Each structure stands twice: as C-alpha cells, then as structure tokens.
C-alpha cells in the first residue's frame, strides 16, 4: 500500500475523473425502428437528456480509494429499525437508499465506498454526488440502472428537511426498480433535522463511530512487507511512537502516523515523533522562552513560514518589516546594514535551512511551516492583526514579496481551512482591490475555498452575497472568475445561479460583459454546454421584465456577428450524438423565445444572419444544423415577411434560397390549416 492522504477522508482533494474511468453520460441509444416511431424515440431520448441536465452531476470515483480487506478497519455500526415495523430486520446492502450517519472525520466516505463496492461490482459505475443546489432536492438525484451513488454531504450543516425525505421515498422506488443504489453520508443533525420521527424515512439508517485509528495505523504499516515489523513500534514501551493514539482520533490520524513511522530513522526517532505531534516540542522551544533576542528570531521564522522557499533577501527583509511595526515596539538596529549578523548566521540562529540563496523552514522539518502559523494564530491571537497588516504590506504591488504571491495564496488557503474564513477574508478583500495580479491570487484563493469540503458551503453562500453587491464590482468580478473555474465544473448549478445574480445586479457595464464572457467560456466546455444552454433558456422564458439575465441567451452568441474566427455557436452546432440533439433542441427553444420578444428581434436577426453567412465556410456550421435552428422562427412570421426575418433569409446564396423555400412551405401549411378550420366551422 502507498499511504494516501485521501484515505479515510470525508471528501476528495482532487475531484477530477479517475484515470481510465469514462465520464458519466446518460445512456441514450438509438432505436432501430422506422418512420415516425424512430422520430418519436429520438424525441423521447432528447427529452430524457434535457431533463437529466437538472440532475446532480456524477463524479467518477477513483477505484484506488476503495480499500481492500487488509487495509479496511471495520467501524462500529448500529442499524436503525424502521418506524413502521420496529421488529423488522433490514439488510442494509439490500436497500436502494442507505444513510450512513456519523461525525465528520470518522471515515464515513471510506466506509460508504466499501458498501457501494459490495452492492455494485462494476467499479466504473460508482459515482460521487456533491450538493450542487440552493436547497436540498432529492428529485435531482440521478438514477441510472445498476449504478451506485455516494451523496457526500460533508461540510453541510443545514438539515435536509421533511420535504427531502418525502422526495427520497419516491426516489427509492425508482432506484429499487432499476438496481441503482444510493448512500447518503451526513451527520445526524443534517439527516434528522426537521423530522418529527427520526425513523420516518424511507432509507435504511446506519450510525457509525470512528474505527480505531491505532488499528488503521497498524494495518497500513503491515501492508509494507519490507517494514511490516515496524507495526510493533506502536506498542513497544521503548518506542517513541507507542501511546501516541489514545483511541478517539480520526481514522486519518492513523494513516498519518503510519506514514511517519514508515519514514522514521528508528523507533527512537524523536524528531519524527515531534512531526506527528505537529512539531509541539520544537515550537515550544522556539516560542516558549522570553530571551531578549527571541522576537527577532520569531519574526524570521514567521516570515519563512509564509514565504518558504523564497530568496533569502525576501525573507529577511520581510522579517525586518514585521519587526518595524510600531505595535511590536522593537528598536531599530544601530548601524543599519552594518549592524547584526550576516544572512547565514541569522538563518542558522532561527533554525532555517539556507542554501543556494534561498530560505526554507520546512526543508529540515516537513510541515512545520503550517504548524508554526497555526501555533501563532491559536496561542498568540493578539499578533494576528499585526500579521494581517504586514501581509498586506509585503504583498502589495512592488512589495517585498511580490514574487512570492502564489506561495502566500497557498498558505492562506490552508490557514482558512484550519482557522476559518475570517482568518483570510480581510486580506482577500485587500487583494481584490489591488492590481490584476493580486486579484488573480485572491480569485485562486476563493476558488479553492469555494470547493473545499468544510468551508465550501459557507464560501458559496458568501459568493452569493458578493454577486448581489453592485457597489463592490471587484467582488462581482471575483465571483465571475471563480464561476468559470473549478466551481463551474464541480457545482455548475450553483455557479450559473451566481452568474445570474451578477448579471441582474451589476452596476457597471464591464462587470456584466465579464459575466457574459464567462458564460461563453463555459459554453465552450463540451461537458458543461448543455447545462449552460438549459439555464440560459430558462432565464429567457422565466425572467422578470427588464432583467439582464433575460437577454443573455442572445448576448452570448453576439460575438458571431462580430466576426470571431471560431464563435462558440459553431462548436455547439457541430455537436454530435445525444448531446448534439439536446444542444440543438435547447438552441431552438432559446431562439424561439428570443424571437417572440419584439425588442430583441433586430439583434437576433443580425446573429442568425451571421450564422447563415458562415454556412459553407471553413469550420463553419452545417446547413442542416443552421436550418433546423432558423426554422423555429418561421411560424411567428408566417402571416407576413418582416424586415427582421428578411435579414436572415434574404439574399442570393443557395442556402438562403433553401431557407425561403422552407418558409414558403410553412406559410402554405398555415394557410391550409386555416382553410380547414374555416370549413369545419362553416359545416
């Protein structure tokens, strides 16, 4: 076994599809029948695909995270009895819906994946679902045949509510019928909140406690044949690793201890022990004294923790700037650059690694950089405001640490995960008000937090507030950038909703244009384009009067009229298979809705006219695809050929002649139907 930091985690750090596992798509196979029946089945398939866009996106699970028997430590579990029949015996593996309840950090996800592996033998049919919703909604759970789903509610704190459980009952019936299986991972509060009776749920409920972290560590060590004997160190009185786990630690602590033991020099490696304990001994040594020169060393250690790996001059100058803060009352050196020790001696005195002109705190002691910052935040909170001012100063344009901004963003991301969003929010806002480079780093920080397991729900709510703040365009721009990144890929419904808020609340044209560009960018992603189109159509048809989001369907395609080399629309029109059918159906719905709004027809005619011009050009759309889209506006123009329609189908090219012929057919069909209706009424 290779110890993996994702083992026994409640959430994956990287949610990209597993190697060798195909992305999930609805199964929409063509039916080999003829005539109208074939068309009818095609329409059913398109409807099924479009309806499926409202469902939560399934993320393939890396099969390597499903632990084999020799590594999996079975937790203590109890099974709830159903309210309707308290004496009934439930086999949880035989139920279509199962809730696995326990505290966060108890190994619920690992246990759930093991259960799904027992239920669904085909590992490529096991998927993870994230809560990509504004409110819990079980109608959005996918239900493909012989497929296993893990709905991961780690980080969610609001109860699911009674409505969700009612919807879950209907889902369970469908899942059982097709052999699908769903396991929901949640805390007891999230699962039971809002229920009059905790047993009034259609799901089988399993409650679990943490498995033994000590046993997990022992299993992990013994899986290494060449170092399996080190498992005895966990109980050996002469070993510094004995007794480090008391029995109430998270399973991941067992994985971490195994990793430390496997890398230790021997069973008396005190530094390895200190590493496992978060470098408590070393930090006490550094911060537990009150000698006169301690502040100077500590300033250098703090600077190195934030700027680990930076050039020595950057770290030393940053430390000097920290000492210069008036709140620290540290006197300046007499003699300036001539005073004090040289760089090498200063770094050595502070316990830093100094080689090839760069300084590192963690090269000698892995992980001590983050441990030191956590120590400062928790043990010296009065220093935190000073550090915030200092970080703002060194990270400003042309500041001391201007070349180390990515490192600062990485450190602050970790700090937010351990100390909460408030620990980094002030600096994030400062960066957003800075130059473009600083704003990009703030966006990177927010993007990581918005998809983080524990902070994600809170950060996504915060983004909702930012999106609705027209007086803070820098925050709206950050929302736009985050939504076109990882948040848009993993939580497309939430990202699209945030972009809609920006569109409708933006106070500056540039912000609204950036939101349209972000939607255009998402449309260029083949996996996301149907989701985006579906949202744009809904906004067009359900928008409140005057809302900018109601015209964005037209706005995102306007670049075709501006003569872009490869407009977004052309890629959509070339889409094939079930996705292509669904995309063209959504395009038809959108253009029909746009054309029926008189105030938009002139712009719509310009865009559609550019599509017609592109037919037959290199990389342009096919005549069939464009005709299929343009034809949806013909019924609204059947009584008279208006100027707007004439701009679309007028001209001398063979394709436009073909469009006019089809328009004439529509006019004749409309006239024939009217004549028949008139004859029926006369009779």
How wide is the angle at C-alpha 634 spanned by C-alphas 632 and 639, nearest 5°? 150
The residues pairing with 671 across neighbouring beta strands, listed in sequence order, are none
What is the rounded average pLDDT of the residues 411-429? Answer: 89
Q: Is residue 364 part of a domain?
A: yes
CA neighbor of 408 nearest in space, from 442, 459, 450: 442
The residue among 359, 387, 415 that closes a domain is 387
**Four-point Cα dihedral 618, 621, 623, 626, nearest 10:** -150
Q: Do 357 and 343 share a structural domain?
A: yes
Q: Do 140 and 221 share a structural domain?
A: no
351-355, long-range: CB < 8 A, 24+ apart: 351/282, 351/286, 351/301, 352/300, 352/301, 352/304, 352/315, 354/312
Q: What is the 8-class DSSP label of residue 525?
A: S
| Residue 95: per-residue pLDDT | 78
Res. 427: pLDDT tops 90: no
CA neighbor of 427 nearest in space, from 375, 384, 371: 384
> Average per-residue pLDDT in the chain?
86
| Residue 23: per-residue pLDDT | 38
Q: d(Cα 538, Cα 550) in Å, to the nearest integer?
A: 9
Q: d(Cα 508, Cα 471) in Å, to the nearest integer?
A: 9
The residue among 199, 226, 260 that closes a domain is 260
pLDDT higher at 541 or 243: 243
Q: What angle in degrees, to the nearest 10, is found between the helix axes of 405-419 and 294-306?
A: 100
Using one digit for the tens of pLDDT, what is the confidence trace for 502-521? Answer: 999 999 999 999 999 999 99
**Four-point Cα dihedral 158, 163, 164, 169, nearest 10:** 150
What is the rounded average pLDDT of the residues 542-549? Answer: 81
Q: What is the 8-class DSSP label of residue 548?
A: G
Q: Is residue 542 part of a domain?
A: no
Residue 95 belongs to a domain with what CATH number?
A: 3.40.50
Q: Is residue 605 part of a domain?
A: yes
Q: In percent, how much of the chain has pLDDT > 90? A: 61
Q: d(Cα 14, Cα 526) in Å, to the nearest integer?
A: 20
Buried/exposed 392-428: b ≥16 CB within 10 Å, e otherwise:
ebbbbeebbbeebbebbbbbbbebbbebebebbeebb
Using one digit for the tens of pLDDT, what is the confidence trace for 357-396? Answer: 899 999 999 999 999 999 999 999 999 999 999 998 998 8
CA neighbor of 402 nearest in space, from 298, 346, 305, 318: 318
Q: Do 174 and 72 share a structural domain?
A: yes
Res. 625: pLDDT tops 70: yes
Q: Do 122 and 94 share a structural domain?
A: yes
For the chain, the helix, strand and coil percentages under 3-state DSSP, each to the nearest 5: 60, 5, 35
Tokens 């009217």, residue located? 674
Q: Is residue 352 part of a domain?
A: yes
Q: Do 148 and 162 share a structural domain?
A: yes
pLDDT higher at 192 or 536: 536
Res. 4: pLDDT tops 50: no
Q: Is residue 368 part of a domain?
A: yes
What is the rounded average pLDDT of the residues 459-478? Answer: 95
Res. 123: pLDDT tops 80: no
Give the total number of structural domains in the chain: 4
The residues pairing with 129 across neighbouring beta strands, listed in sequence order, are 151
Sorted by sequence, the CB contacts under 8 Å of residue 675 that are 6+ apart come out as none
3-state per-residue secondary structure call for 384-406:
HHHHHHHHHHHHCCCCCCHHHHH
The range of the structural domain enclosing residue 134 comes to 55-208
> Strand, helix or coil at 264?
coil
**Main-chain dihedrals φ then ψ at residue 151, nearest 5 degrees:** -85, 105
Q: Do 152 and 59 share a structural domain?
A: yes
pLDDT higher at 25 or 131: 131
Q: d(Cα 387, Cα 399) in Å, to the nearest integer?
A: 15
* Helix intervals (H) in 148-250: 162-178, 188-192, 213-222
Token pair recorded at residue 571 = 């890629």
Q: Is residue 245 part of a domain?
A: yes
Using one digit for the tens of pLDDT, what is the confidence trace for 285-335? Answer: 999 988 888 999 999 999 999 999 999 999 999 999 999 999 998 887 765
CA neighbor of 48 nearest in space, from 143, 183, 170, 180: 143
| Residue 80: per-residue pLDDT | 81
Q: Is residue 95 part of a domain?
A: yes
| Residue 18: per-residue pLDDT | 39
> Strand, helix or coil at 360?
strand
Q: Do 227 and 171 share a structural domain?
A: no
Q: Do 64 and 204 share a structural domain?
A: yes
Q: d(Cα 356, Cα 310) in Å, to the nearest integer?
A: 11
Q: Do 107 and 244 share a structural domain?
A: no
Q: Do 228 and 302 share a structural domain?
A: no
Q: Is residue 581 part of a domain?
A: no
| Residue 31: per-residue pLDDT | 33
| Residue 6: per-residue pLDDT | 56
Q: Do 292 and 230 share a structural domain?
A: no
| Residue 508: per-residue pLDDT | 93
Using one digit for the tens of pLDDT, what is the confidence trace for 580-599? Answer: 899 999 999 999 999 999 99
Res. 28: pLDDT tops 70: no
Q: Do 252 and 183 share a structural domain?
A: no
The residue among 387, 419, 439 that closes a domain is 387
CA neighbor of 549 nearest in space, from 537, 560, 561: 537
Q: What is the 8-class DSSP label of residue 652?
A: S
């Amino acid at each position: 076994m290779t110890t993996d930091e994702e083992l026994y985690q409640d959430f994956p750090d990287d949610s990209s599809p597993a190697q060798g596992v195909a992305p999930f798509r609805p199964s929409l196979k063509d039916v080999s029948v003829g005539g109208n029946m074939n068309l009818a089945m095609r329409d059913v398939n398109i409807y099924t695909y479009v309806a499926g866009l409202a469902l939560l996106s399934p993320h393939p699970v890396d099969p390597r995270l499903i632990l084999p028997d020799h590594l999996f430590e079975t937790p203590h579990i109890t099974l709830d009895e159903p309210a309707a029949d308290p004496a009934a015996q439930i086999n949880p593996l035989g139920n279509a819906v199962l809730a696995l309840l326990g505290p966060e950090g108890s190994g619920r996800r690992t246990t759930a994946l093991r259960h799904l592996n027992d239920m669904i033998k085909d590992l490529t049919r096991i998927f993870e679902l994230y809560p990509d919703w504004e409110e819990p909604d079980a109608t959005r759970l996918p239900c493909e045949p012989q497929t296993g789903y893990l709905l991961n509610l780690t980080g969610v704190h609001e109860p699911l509510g009674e409505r969700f459980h009612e919807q879950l009952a209907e889902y369970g019936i469908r899942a059982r019928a097709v052999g699908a299986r769903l396991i929901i991972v949640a805390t007891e509060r999230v699962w039971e909140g809002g229920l009059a009776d905790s047993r009034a749920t259609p799901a089988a409920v399993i409650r679990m406690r943490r498995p033994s972290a000590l046993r997990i560590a022992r299993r992990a060590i013994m899986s290494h044949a060449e170092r399996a004997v080190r498992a005895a160190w966990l109980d050996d009185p002469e070993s510094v690793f004995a007794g480090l786990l008391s029995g109430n630690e998270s399973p991941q602590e067992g994985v971490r201890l195994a990793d430390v033991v496997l890398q230790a020099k021997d069973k008396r490696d005190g530094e390895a022990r200190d590493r496992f304990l978060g470098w408590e001994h070393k930090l006490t040594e550094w911060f537990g004294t009150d000698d006169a020169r301690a502040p100077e060393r500590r300033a250098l250690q703090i600077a190195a923790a934030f700027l680990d790996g930076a050039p020595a001059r950057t770290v030393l100058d940053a430390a000097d700037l920290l000492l210069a803060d008036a709140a620290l009352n540290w006197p300046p050196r007499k003699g300036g650059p001539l005073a004090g020790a040289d760089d090498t001696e200063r770094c050595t005195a502070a316990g830093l690694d100094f080689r090839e002109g760069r300084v590192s705190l963690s090269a000698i002691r892995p992980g001590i950089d983050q441990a030191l910052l956590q120590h400062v935040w928790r043990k010296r909170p009065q220093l935190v405001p000073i550090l915030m001012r200092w970080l703002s100063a060194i990270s400003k344009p042309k500041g001391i640490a201007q070349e180390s901004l990515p490192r600062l963003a990485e450190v602050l991301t970790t700090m937010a995960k351990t100390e909460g969003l408030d620990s980094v929010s002030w600096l994030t806002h400062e960066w957003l008000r800075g130059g473009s480079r600083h704003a990009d780093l703030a966006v990177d920080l927010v993007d990581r937090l918005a998809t983080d397991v524990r902070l994600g729900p809170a950060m996504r709510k915060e983004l909702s507030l930012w999106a609705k703040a027209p007086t803070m365009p820098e925050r709206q721009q950050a929302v736009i950038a985050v939504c076109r990144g990882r948040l848009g890929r993993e939580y497309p419904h939430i990202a699209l909703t945030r972009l809609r808020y920006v569109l409708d609340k933006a106070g500056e044209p540039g912000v609204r244009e950036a939101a349209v560009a972000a939607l255009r960018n998402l449309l260029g992603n083949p996996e996301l384009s149907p989701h985006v189109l579906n949202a744009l159509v809904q906004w067009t048809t359900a928008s409140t009067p005057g809302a900018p989001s109601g015209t964005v369907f037209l706005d995102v395609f306007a670049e075709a009229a501006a003569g872009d080399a490869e407009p977004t629309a052309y890629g959509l029109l070339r889409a094939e298979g079930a996705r292509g059918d669904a995309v063209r159906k959504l395009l038809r719905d959108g253009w029909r809705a746009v054309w029926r709004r008189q105030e938009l027809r002139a712009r719509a005619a310009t865009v559609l006219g550019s599509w017609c011009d592109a037919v037959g050009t290199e990389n342009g759309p096919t005549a069939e695809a464009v005709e299929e889209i343009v034809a949806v506006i013909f019924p609204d123009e059947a009584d008279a050929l208006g100027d707007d329609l004439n701009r679309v189908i007028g001209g001398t090219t063979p394709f436009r002649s073909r469009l006019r012929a089809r328009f004439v057919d529509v006019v004749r069909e409309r006239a024939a139907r009217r004549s028949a209706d008139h004859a029926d009424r006369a009779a």
